[in-house]
Amino acid sequence: MDHHCPWLNNCVGFKNRKNFMLLIIYAAVLVFLSLPFTIYPIIRFIIELAQGNKTHLWHFIVGLIGLVLSIVFTYIIIQFITYHFELIRKNMTTIEHLDEKRGNVREYNYDYGKDFNWDLVFGKRSECWFIPFNKGDAGSQGDGIV
């Protein structure tokens, strides 16, 4: 087990870590795509305000709230993805990282190099890395124990 994710109400482990990573990557893409949709009403309101029209004030307020939320979520998801990519690079679980942080250093080192560590999670076939398919060479390599 890597960790229990309260957002998914499920444990993230060896067999579903690729799906978890894809979930947060896809969430980041959606957050990035939300930025232009929140900026548009703000720009539209500013242009109409310059023309003397104040009828779309509500659109401006909703766009501004959406823009602030999008920026906050973008920052959070970038930090979250960066953290988990670093764990993949070191071939560590969240629990192992927390143990290391607390000073409970273990004598086991599972780091096989960043390329092989990546293949352990996402599979050997690069064309399947961003597809939630975990069978054969397109999924997690090994058995999660050895």
Across the chain, which has 146 residues, the per-10-residue mean pLDDT values are 78 83 92 89 86 80 91 93 91 81 73 80 80 70 62
Please give the pLDDT value at position 82: 94
- Quote the tokens at residue 48: 């109409």
Q: Look-up: residue for tokens 């310059």? A: 50
Please give the pLDDT value at position 142: 66
Please give the pLDDT value at position 68: 94
- Quote the tokens at residue 116: 């092989």
Radius of gyration of the chain from its Cα atoms, rounded to whole angstroms: 21
Q: Look-up: residue for tokens 């766009």? A: 63
* Pair 144, 15: CB distance under 8 Å: yes
Close Cβ partners of 62 (under 8 Å, ≥ 6 residues apart): 41
Please give the pLDDT value at position 28: 92
Rounded to whole angstroms, what are the CA distances from 6 to 1, 9, 11, 12, 115? 14, 5, 9, 10, 30
Produce one character per residue of 102-129: b if its CB has 16 or more CB atoms within 10 Å, e if not: eeeeeeeeeeeeeeebbbbbbbeeeebb
Please give the pLDDT value at position 138: 65
- Quote the tokens at residue 120: 């352990």
Nearest 10 degrees: Cα torsion 81, 86, 90, 91 = -10
Please give the pLDDT value at position 108: 64
Partners of 10 in the β-ladder: 5
